[in-house]
Amino acid sequence: MFHPVPQLLPALGLAVSAHVAALIAMVFSSADSHFRVIAILLIVLLVRQCLLAIDEASDRGEFFRLYMCGYALYANEFLLLKKLTVPASPSTRQRLVSGLKLLFSPRIHVSRKAIPPFDPVEPSYVPTRWKFLCRQAISIAWMATAYHCVFHRYALRILITDYARPREHLLRRLSQVSGREVVVRVYTVFKEHFRNYLLMSLGHSTTSLVGVFLFQDDPADWPPLYGSLKDAYTVRRYYSHFWHRVMRTAFVSNAKFLLFRLLRVSPSAVTSRYLVSITAFAISGTMHSVAFSTSWRCASLRPLWYYLSIASAILVEDLAQLGYRKSMTSLSGKAPTPDTNENSTQTVSKLPLHDTFSYLAIFWVFMGHIFRMLVDSKNSLSTADL
């Protein structure tokens, strides 16, 4: 199918204008200025035009749309929810530089404990400038090579018949499932997670390399984007300890705004923590639905259902851990402590049935989510590598 050439330069111009609007609002307006509301409305309009301008079904197009959607959420958080302002300075240039640092520091309000250290053994370690540059250059080299090999040179050859509509429901025809179909589905899930990991890591490593080398940034300002996979022994810890925190505060801040200020939910309610988590995942799913690679925005809400399923899996995990702690407390007759709570979390999470349920549930939902999206777009697929 013919795809029009994306209007890259106009889209970049719109993106720059949206960033300038937020920068001007943070630098030259007070925290309670009505100009900030006008700036947010302008940013939303510019972001919408960016989404329409870049409409190509590619990694570049999807990454750009996700970035702009995330930027709109962060602009709302910075300008209206947290009302950030730059420190007073007699120099306009210095204030603009401070504003740029705020604008491009999405993890600035993430607690230091939640950000992965450079060295897990020595959390306070910060590499020297040259060690940091060498480390990032090596990371860029291996990630670019891995991306080329996995997704281009040695990609699994997937045929249009692999995603025919009759193959959609796997459980209803287990006796008919072939070995190739199992491989294709498992490969698809792996590919999507690994692709996101590589693209985000490449973007972070490249910008940090430029920032430290050209702009003399402190390496401490560029901590690792992802944590250690060995700490992700539950679905909750996968997203809280391993996965990137780039959008964490934006999702949570906007979720709290919707719940506590618009819907007037009591922040002290026992369920408020879970309501915030569910709403944050819903915002993430909506953002991915908006940025989905189709010419009709939000034509598919499957990303939304996928992210809500993650929240459901976390809820089931917490209930299992709570039940385990209650049973151990009743058997021992001792009140639980933070150490015993953490130990029980690891114990329950490492039980075969619980661990299998948590990850297979997410794996199954993700597999169905990706599979149905490919079924919907099969008319635009040819016999080619995905």
Give the DSSP letter string of 215-244. Answer: S---GGGS--SS--GGG--SHHHIIIIIS-
What are the CA-CA distances from residue 1 to residues 156, 158, 349, 380, 382 (Å)? 22, 18, 47, 6, 9
Tell me, what's the pLDDT at 345?
A: 53
pLDDT digits (tens, 9 = 90+) for 110-119: 777 778 899 8
Contact 39, 79 (CB under 8 A): yes
What is the reported pLDDT for 382?
A: 44
pLDDT above 80: residue 221: yes
Residue type, position 192, single letter: E
Reply yes or no on whether the pLDDT at 346 is more than 60: no
- Listed residue (273, 284, 253) closest to 82, CA to CA: 253
pLDDT of residue 1: 39
What does the alpha-carbon distance between residue 225 and residue 203 come to, in Å, rounded to a whole number?
10
**At 353, is the pLDDT very low, low, confident or very high (cuts 50, 70, 90)?**
very low
pLDDT tier for residue 383 given thresholds of 50, 70 and 90: very low
Which pLDDT band holds residue 372 (cuts at 50, 70, 90)? low
Average pLDDT over residues 55-66: 77
Q: Could you give the C-alpha distances from 320 to 169, 335, 354, in angstroms and in order?
A: 29, 18, 8
pLDDT confidence bin for 120, thresholds 50/70/90? confident
Q: Which residue has the higher pLDDT, 208 or 338?
A: 208
Domain spans, the chain: 1-105, 116-385
Q: What is the pLDDT of residue 362?
A: 52
Lowest-pLDDT choice from 11-25, 99-113, 188-202: 99-113
Mean pLDDT, to the nearest integer, of 347-365? 49
Instruction: Please state, in angstroms and rounded to a whole number, the distance separating the CA atoms of residues 360 and 185.
Output: 13
- Which of these, 266, 362, 366, lies nearest to 316 by C-alpha position? 362
* Predicted confidence (pLDDT) at residue 374 exceeds the cutoff of 70: no
Q: pLDDT at position 305, please?
A: 86
The per-residue pLDDT for range 296-329, each reduced to its tens digit, is: 455 567 788 889 988 988 888 888 888 888 887 7
Average pLDDT, rounded, for the chain:
80
pLDDT of 51 higher than 50: yes
Instruction: Quote the pLDDT of residue 352.
Output: 44
Ramachandran angles phi, psi of 384, nearest 5°: -150, 175
- List residues bridging with 158 in a β-sheet: 384
Give pTM, 2 decimals. 0.79
pLDDT at site 22 = 94
Per residue in 135-187, pLDDT (tens digit) is 999 999 999 999 998 888 877 777 766 666 555 666 666 667 777 777 877 78
pLDDT tier at 334, thresholds 50, 70, 90 = low
pLDDT number for residue 379: 46
Look at 382 and 211; give whichever has higher pLDDT: 211
**How much of the chain, in percent, has pLDDT values that exceed 90?**
28
> Is the pLDDT confidence value at 62 over 90?
no
- Whether 11 and 54 have beta carbons less than 8 Å apart is answered as yes
Residue 94 has pLDDT above 70, yes or no: yes
Average pLDDT on 329-358 reads 56
Does the pLDDT of residue 206 top 80, yes or no?
yes
pLDDT at 72 over 90: yes
**pLDDT on residue 385:** 42
Predicted local distance difference test score (pLDDT) of residue 283: 95
